[in-house]
């Protein structure tokens, strides 16, 4: 079965339970090298796991990352912010020896090529400012320059990280959307809190989408991106049989 959970304020909510796992089973099968659907069908037909020779699964030496693909660019005016409803039209998979490189492969397969230099824009809610300082410092070490809204820039300044201040859209031009539109920004990290901030940042999300600029809305994703940039790209292409050591 496929269960979808939501967690808010330490409470766990069940959104839906479906008697299927149409996307999860193929992904886990490819990640582990085990044909789970075939095994399950034989068990339902009366076979036991012992009869099938199925024992505890070995932990793969590689890492597999699944990335959703969204069709936002095909629908004018649609906001890219996510909610509990299904919006993805497909998924891609990246496999590599480390999480960072597998994550980079998954991003590339979903149509997002990470920049190697340029100006990164960071604007985050107060709770995320400590993590944003970590992200910004590591980006600077990689050769990026940093731009931020005034509140985030002050937090970066206190951490002794230089950042150019860009206006929010409501503060007037030249603002961050102008910078995105003119390709003056190559990477965006933006987290919001509250309905007003979500509404105010809509134009930034939309213009970033149209410009095909990598855009990350959680600090965990931003930290993963930095780790991917630090480790470098992995262009190795191997079949699933090669990853799992079978012909």
Least confident residue range of 72-76, 134-138, 225-229: 72-76
Question: In the chain, pLDDT over 90 holds for what percent of residues?
Answer: 47
Residue 18 pLDDT grade (very low, low, confident, very high; cuts 50, 70, 90): confident
Q: What is the mean pLDDT of the chain?
A: 86
Integer Cα distance of 124 and 154 in angstroms: 12
144-148 and 63-69: which strand pairing?
Answer: unpaired
Q: Is the pLDDT of residue 152 over 80?
A: yes
Question: Is pLDDT larger for residue 77 or for residue 40?
Answer: 40
- Return the pLDDT at 124: 92
Q: What is the pLDDT of residues 157-216, one digit of tens each?
A: 999 999 999 888 878 888 888 888 888 899 999 888 776 676 667 778 778 877 888 889
Beta bridge partners of 135: none
Report pLDDT for 175.
87
Confidence at residue 47, expressed as pLDDT on a 0 to 100 scale: 94
CA torsion, ordered 7, 228, 87, 218, to nearest 10 deg = 40
CA distance 90 to 68: 6
Least confident residue range of 100-104, 225-229, 243-247? 243-247
Name all domains of the chain by residue range, CATH numbers in brackets.
Answer: 1-59 (no CATH), 116-227 (3.40.50.1380)
Q: Is the pLDDT of residue 242 over 80?
A: yes
SS (HEC) of 128-189: HHHHHHHHHHHHHHCCEEEEECHHHHHHHHHCCCCCEECECHHHCCCEHHHHHHCCCCCEEE
Pairwise CA distance, residues 86 & 78, whole Å: 14
Once rounded to an integer, what is the mean pLDDT over residues 78-88?
63
pLDDT > 70: what percent of the chain?
89
Give the pLDDT score at 68.
83
User: What local confidence, expressed as pLDDT, does residue 247 receive?
Assistant: 40
Contact 4, 23 (CB under 8 A): no
């Amino acid at each position: 079965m496929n269960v979808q959970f939501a967690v808010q304020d330490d409470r766990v909510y069940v959104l839906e339970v479906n008697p299927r796992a149409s996307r999860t089973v193929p992904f886990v099968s490819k990640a582990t090298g085990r044909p789970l659907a075939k095994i399950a069908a034989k068990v339902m037909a009366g076979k036991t796991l012992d009869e099938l020779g199925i024992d505890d699964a070995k932990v793969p030496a590689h890492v597999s990352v699944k990335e959703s693909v969204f069709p936002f660019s095909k629908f004018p005016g649609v906001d890219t912010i996510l909610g509990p409803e299904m919006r993805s039209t497909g998924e891609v998979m990246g496999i590599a020896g480390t999480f960072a490189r597998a994550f980079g492969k998954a991003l590339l397969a979903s149509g997002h090529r990470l920049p190697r230099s340029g100006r990164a824009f960071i604007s985050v809610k107060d709770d995320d400012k400590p993590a944003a300082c970590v992200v910004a410092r590591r980006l600077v070490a990689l050769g990026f320059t940093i731009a931020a809204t005034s509140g985030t820039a002050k937090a970066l300044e206190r951490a002794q990280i230089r950042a150019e201040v860009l206006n929010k859209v409501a503060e007037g031009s030249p603002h961050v959307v102008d910078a995105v539109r003119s390709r003056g920004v190559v990477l965006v990290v933006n987290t919001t809190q509250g309905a007003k901030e979500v509404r105010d940042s809509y134009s930034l999300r939309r213009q970033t989408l149209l410009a095909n600029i990598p855009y990350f809305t959680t600090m965990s994703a931003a930290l993963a991106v930095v780790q991917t940039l630090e480790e470098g790209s992995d262009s190795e292409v191997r079949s699933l049989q090669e990853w799992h050591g079978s012909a």
